[in-house]
């Protein structure tokens, strides 16, 4: 492609292919070199484009990695995956299950005790304080829930 290159051609070439002659179409480098040799503006344009490409290349360069870094990353991933399964398993440990069972038994015992106390007091006459307590517990004078005719 030994045609005479213009400044506009050089700008279009740099925009499309960059400043590296290896990325240009075959035969273009000779035409560009001839233009740069005779035109200072073309030379500065090419130098600026090469500096910009070098800066962008340095920014986009991949980070250096080694086998040790890759190993640490994979180990962390494995530990976190195992951690997720062990955290689920720790929800159902025997100690936690016993604590849950103890709390359930305690609630049942408290409910039965309150039921007996309320049943025994249902036949008595109540003071105003006792009636308030029964109201809070939701029990009427007859030992059932409050209804019409129950008083405070």
Q: Which residues contact 59 (CB under 8 A, 6 or more apart)?
A: none
- Contact call for residues 18 and 45 (beta carbons, < 8 A): no
Predicted TM-score (pTM) of the model is 0.40
Q: Is 1 part of any domain?
A: no
pLDDT digits (tens, 9 = 90+) for 16-41: 988 888 889 988 888 899 999 999 99
Q: Is 12 part of any domain?
A: yes
For residues 99 and 87, membership in a common domain is answered with no
More confident residue, 99 or 1: 99
**Residue 69 belongs to domain spanning:** 65-91
- Report in angstroms the alpha-carbon separations of 64 from 22, 41, 61, 67, 136: 26, 38, 9, 10, 71
For residues 87 and 119, membership in a common domain is answered with no
For residues 25 and 41, membership in a common domain is answered with yes
């Amino acid at each position: 492609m030994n045609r005479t290159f213009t400044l506009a051609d050089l700008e279009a070439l740099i925009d499309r292919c960059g400043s590296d002659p290896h990325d240009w179409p075959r035969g273009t480098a000779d035409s560009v070199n001839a233009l740069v040799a005779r035109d200072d503006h073309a030379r500065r344009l090419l130098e600026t484009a090469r500096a910009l490409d070098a800066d962008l290349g340095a920014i986009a360069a991949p980070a250096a990695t080694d086998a040790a870094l890759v190993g640490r990353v994979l180990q962390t991933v494995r530990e976190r995956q195992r951690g997720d399964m062990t955290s689920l398993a720790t929800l159902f440990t025997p100690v936690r299950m016993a604590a849950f069972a103890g709390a359930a038994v305690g609630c049942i015992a408290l409910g039965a005790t309150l039921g007996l106390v309320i049943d025994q007091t249902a036949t008595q006459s109540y003071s105003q304080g006792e009636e308030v307590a029964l109201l809070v517990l939701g029990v009427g004078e007859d030992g059932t829930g409050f209804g019409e005719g129950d008083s405070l």
